[in-house]
């Protein structure tokens, strides 16, 4: 990168430095890696592209399911370790890790390279529990959004909260049977919407009785392409996406926001349309530190690199991870039409909770 671009990257990191991200952390490229060992999910959550796959006006988001080849995964892990020996590797990305038949082996592989495996699960499915726990991921997060089925299914479409509770008990009992110093840290993350706060207390109590940790977080839009389309639909002064060589015409290929997504945005305490107002005092940066080559990297199951950690559409991609340096990824994103749209709407700050106190429930 040129000295000017290096300085622009350093400047763009400043708003992200808070209690969760330190000044030293922002220098790590990558800090956190989403490793898509499996690209399928068993739910259809409306805030995610997986919950918005039906064609709208003949258009749909482009997905591809598959498992990462073990040899490819080893090569990728070796490169991650060479770039940051202490990187955190998330074993998911718009997907459910327990759907992978060899999840324990994947966790072991990450440990072999000295990296830190973590995973988030909707826990509607549970496989090879003793082996997963014996592989000792650094953290397992159980994501949910209700205590009763009627409330839960609004945010976790296709899920069954009674099955989740049963699986929580199974996971907790297996973990509690392990020697205390070898137990895996397991936390329940309760997503707060406008209409589900009354079920926080019973879920907190249920988790506590099982010996599981518990915290709450403000639900938010989690897929960049959906959020951008939603914000554009609410903007009376919207301008067309810039058409760039080698990229699809985003004006023509992206589906508009459907009722499923619109209804989900109306449940949020902080919808993405508030991002510009929330971060009005922070100047737009030339480059974003959370995309490929920066602090957060999303590596797809076929080895390609997603444009950023918040995009799922397969057309929003850069080069193969193994063939590209972090600096090259940053250079590829500088003038990308989708990145420009995201940054202009301050969505990169929205997705990664800049000024975290604004997101405290």
pLDDT of residue 224: 92
CATH number at residue 317: 3.20.20.70
Domain that includes residue 195, residue range: 3-359
Confidence check: pLDDT of 213 > 90: yes
Tens of pLDDT, residues 274-325? 999 999 999 888 888 888 988 899 999 999 999 998 898 999 999 999 999 9
Tens of pLDDT, residues 72-86? 999 999 999 999 999
pLDDT of residue 178: 95
Tens of pLDDT, residues 235-269? 999 999 999 998 999 999 999 999 999 999 999 99
Would you say the C-alpha torsion 252, 258, 260, 266 has a positive or negative sign?
A: positive
Instruction: List C-alpha distances in Å: 21 to 24, 159, 163.
Output: 8, 32, 35
> Rounded to two decimals, what is the model's pTM?
0.95
What lies within 8 Å, CB to CB, of 32 at 6+ separation is 87, 88, 89, 90, 295, 296, 297, 309
In b/e form, how buried is each residue of 14-51, taking b as 16+ CB within 10 angstroms? Answer: ebbeeeebeeeebebbbbbbbbbbbbbbebbbbbbbbb
Tens of pLDDT, residues 148-195? 999 999 999 999 999 999 999 999 999 999 999 999 999 999 999 999
* Higher local confidence (pLDDT), 56 or 18: 56
20 pLDDT tier (thresholds 50, 70, 90): low
Domain count, the chain: 1
Tens of pLDDT, residues 23-50? 777 777 888 999 999 999 899 998 888 7
285 within 8 A of 26, measured Cβ to Cβ = no
pLDDT of residue 155: 95
Query: What mean pLDDT do residues 93-108 have?
Result: 95
Query: What mean pLDDT do residues 54-71 have?
Result: 89
Q: How many CB atoms lie within 10 A of CB 270?
A: 16
Dihedral angle at the C-alpha atoms of 26, 27, 30, 34, nearest 10 degrees? 0
Q: What angle do CA 238, 240, 244 make, to 5 degrees?
A: 150
4 within 8 A of 268, measured Cβ to Cβ = no
What average pLDDT does the chain have?
93
Q: Compute the distance between CA of residue 178 and CA of residue 174 in angstroms, rounded to an integer.
A: 7
Q: How far is CA 48 from the centre of its chain?
A: 10
pLDDT of residue 289: 87
19 pLDDT tier (thresholds 50, 70, 90): low
């Amino acid at each position: 990168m040129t000295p000017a671009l290096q300085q622009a990257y350093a400047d763009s990191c400043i708003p992200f430095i808070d209690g969760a991200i330190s000044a030293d952390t922002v220098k790590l490229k990558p800090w956190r890696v989403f490793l898509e060992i499996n690209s399928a999910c068993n739910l259809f959550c409306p805030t995610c592209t997986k919950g918005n796959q039906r064609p709208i006006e003949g258009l749909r988001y482009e997905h591809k399911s598959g498992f990462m080849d073990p040899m490819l995964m080893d090569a990728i892990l070796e490169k991650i370790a060479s770039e940051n020996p202490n990187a955190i590797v998330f074993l998911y990305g718009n997907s459910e890790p327990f759907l992978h038949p060899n999840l324990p082996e994947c966790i072991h592989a990450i440990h072999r390279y000295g990296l830190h495996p973590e995973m988030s699960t909707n826990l509607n499915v549970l496989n090879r529990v003793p082996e997963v726990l014996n592989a000792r991921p650094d953290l397992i997060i159980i994501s949910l959004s209700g205590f009763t089925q009627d409330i839960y299914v609004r945010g976790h479409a296709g899920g069954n909260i009674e099955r989740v509770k049963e699986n929580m008990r199974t996971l907790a009992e297996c973990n509690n049977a392990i020697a205390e110093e070898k137990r895996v840290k397991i936390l329940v993350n309760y997503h707060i919407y406008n209409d589900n706060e009354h079920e926080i207390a019973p879920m907190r109590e249920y988790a506590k009785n099982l010996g599981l940790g518990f915290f709450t977080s403000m639900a938010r839009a989690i897929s960049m392409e959906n959020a951008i389309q939603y914000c554009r639909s609410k903007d009376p002064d919207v301008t067309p996406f810039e058409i760039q060589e080698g990229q699809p015409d985003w004006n023509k290929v992206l589906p508009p926001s459907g009722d499923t997504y619109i209804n989900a945005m109306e449940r949020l305490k902080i919808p993405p349309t508030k991002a510009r107002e929330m971060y009005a005092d922070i100047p737009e940066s030339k480059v974003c530190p959370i995309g490929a080559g920066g602090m957060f990297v999303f590596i797809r199951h076929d080895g390609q690199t997603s444009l950023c950690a918040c995009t799922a559409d397969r057309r929003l991609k850069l080069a193969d991870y193994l063939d590209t340096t972090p600096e090259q990824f940053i250079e590829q994103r500088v003038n990308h039409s989708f990145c420009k749209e995201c940054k202009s709407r301050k969505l990169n700050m929205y997705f990664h909770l800049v000024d975290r106190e604004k997101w405290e429930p």
